[in-house]
Amino acid sequence: MSLVRVQHFSISLDGFGTGEGQSRDAPFGHAGERLHDWMFETQWGRRMLGESGGTAGVDDSFLRLFTPGIGAEIMGAGKYGYPGWHEDPEWKGPWGSNPPFHTPVFVLTHHPRPPIEMEGGTTFHFIDASPAKALEAARKAAGGKDIRIGGGPTMIREFLKAGLVDHMHIVVVPILLGRGVRLWDGLESLEKSYNIESVSSPVGVTHMTFTRAAGH
Amino acid sequence: MSLVRVQHFSISLDGFGTGEGQSRDAPFGHAGERLHDWMFETQWGRRMLGESGGTAGVDDSFLRLFTPGIGAEIMGAGKYGYPGWHEDPEWKGPWGSNPPFHTPVFVLTHHPRPPIEMEGGTTFHFIDASPAKALEAARKAAGGKDIRIGGGPTMIREFLKAGLVDHMHIVVVPILLGRGVRLWDGLESLEKSYNIESVSSPVGVTHMTFTRAAGH
């Protein structure tokens, strides 16, 4: 069965999935790269940067689950670009000509535009839709494979509230951002719908996996 | 040197140290016992309940650090009693005649009253003081031993803001309370002052220790 998955979404210890003051030069606002530094210690992360080396333990193992089995991604407008990108007709996301998705990607936006085909198999589709409707569109495009819920925090929260997430991998980074966009707001008792496991890694982050519980 | 320590203070995944709606019958409000269930799986926790058995792994090991080396505790008014306890001249805390502290305990309150001597070495002192002044009083009473900062979340946050905490052990419990009193508010960049380690336990909680970094 095709699952709806969140893969390695990083939050601060105080629950922020992105910082305050996001801009073209600072996609995560005042958080900078601090939520994602742990990724670039791994083999998977180094390869993303075009480098070699890196760790091959628990952090790397979780990251390698990013691509296998995924047929499409849904992402929020704030992941696709800086505030105001919809006024720039040339904007094609921050990933360069060959984005790391290699599948159809559905961008949730109140300003739809025609699809953009990139190198490497990524095509961006722009839709103004509810989580359920967006998931329907992504499922059609995914050829029976899983759907990745790409973030940011606001859209993950909305998919969780709608009960649409089957599996979620959250990475708690031991920093206190103090401000930004919280992941957990309004999700009281979410734990009742999931089996939750936690494991801390030597670099200091804690991986938490949420797997939908039987009957939920 | 005498250290200021927070021992096994539990918070929810969304950062709440207590729930909403605290009362005499519900000291942690709608959180109930869910923040502390993990403790009663251990040998230490079972013994608190007058029972035998329990686990002897990482959870139990951390809990056994509660007593050794401590010469006094400082606690907030909300830990000592339900909202309004200061209007009850007979109130002696929720722990019965022999509280588990066995040292002087300084209760921070805007309604001081004469000290109360309990069985087993616990004496409650009631003071209306800043964190720094309270610590001064506790240090005098502690005979060179460490001071435990007992909670709740508001007073721990105030001691952290004042830079007074040397060592802190926080337990993240995988539940989402959604409402209550947050521990982490207003503590942006706290991680710069501490070396932080995390370890997840088989029961699903994550122990985080904060040890003051050199120069902080």
Beta bridge partners of B194: B212
**pLDDT surpassing 90 at residue B189:** yes
Average pLDDT value for residue range A30-42: 97
Q: Given an 8 Å threshold on Cβ–Cβ distance, is A205 in contact with B199?
A: no
Q: Please tell me the predicted confidence (pLDDT) of residue A54.
A: 97
Quick check: A37 and A198 in contact, CB under 8 A?
Answer: no
Instruction: Give the alpha-carbon dihedral of A63, A64, A68, A74, to 10 degrees.
Output: 20
pLDDT in tens, A109-123: 999 999 999 999 999
Please indicate whether, in this complex, the C-beta atoms of B176 and A189 are within 8 angstroms of each other.
yes
User: Least CA distance to A183: which residue of chain B?
Assistant: B14
A110: DSSP letter? S
For the cut 90, the answer to whether the pLDDT of residue A128 exceeds it is yes
* pLDDT digit string, tens, across residues B41-56: 999 999 999 999 999 9
Cα B158 from chain centroid? Answer: 13
Instruction: Give the residue on B whose Cα is nearest the Cα of A200.
Output: B199
Mean pLDDT of A80-95: 96
Indicate yes or no: CB of A204 within 8 angstroms of CB of B191.
Answer: no
C-alpha torsion angle, residues B182, B184, B185, B191 (rounded to 10): 180
For residue A191, the chain B residue with the least C-alpha distance is B175
Q: Give the containing element (helix H, strand E) for A24.
A: none
Mean pLDDT of chain B: 97
- Tokens describing residue B143: 């005979």
pLDDT of residue A130: 98
B102: left (phi over 0), alpha (psi -120 to 50) or beta: left
A160-201, pLDDT tens digit by residue? 999 999 999 999 999 999 999 999 999 999 999 999 999 999
* Per-residue pLDDT band at B199 (split at 50, 70, 90): very high
Nearest to B200 among A179, A204, A206 (CB): A206
Indicate yes or no: CB of B208 within 8 angstroms of CB of A179.
no
Q: How many Å lie between the alpha carbon of B187 and the closest alpha carbon of chain A?
A: 6
Has residue B15 got a pLDDT over 90?
yes
B213 interfaces chain A, CB cutoff of 8 Å: no
Which fold is adopted by the domain B4-212?
Dihydrofolate Reductase, subunit A (3.40.430)
Q: How open is the CA angle A151-A155-A156, to the nearest 5 degrees?
A: 65
φ, ψ dihedrals at A181, nearest 5°: -110, 120
Alpha-carbon distance A139 to nearest alpha carbon in chain B (angstroms): 30
What pLDDT is attached to residue A8? 97
The answer to whether B66 faces chain A, any CB pair under 8 Å, is no
Pick the CATH number of A4-85+98-212 from 3.40.640.10, 3.40.430.10, 2.60.120.10, 3.20.20.70: 3.40.430.10
Domain coordinates in residue numbering, chain B:
4-212
Give the confidence band of B1 by pLDDT, cuts at 50, 70, 90.
confident
Identify the band that residue A149 occupies on the pLDDT scale cut at 50, 70 and 90: very high
C-alpha span between A14 and A179 (Å, rounded)? 9
* B15 chain-A contacts, CB cut-off 8 A: 14-15, 184
- Beta carbons of A7 and A22 less than 8 angstroms apart: no
Q: Tell me whether A213 touches chain B (CB under 8 Å).
A: no
pLDDT tier for residue A1 given thresholds of 50, 70 and 90: confident
| % chain B with pLDDT above 70 | 100
Average pLDDT over chain A reads 97
Out of A13, A190, A200, the one facing B200 most closely (by C-beta) is A200
Interface test with B, best of A187, A191, A201, A205 (most B CBs within 10 A): A191
Query: What's the gap between Cα A126 and its chain centre?
Result: 17
Which amino acid appears at position A196 of this protein? I
Report percent pLDDT > 70 for chain A. 100
What average pLDDT does this structure show over B120-134?
A: 98
Say yes or no to pLDDT of B131 above 90: yes
Q: What kind and span of H or E run contains A11? A: strand A4-12
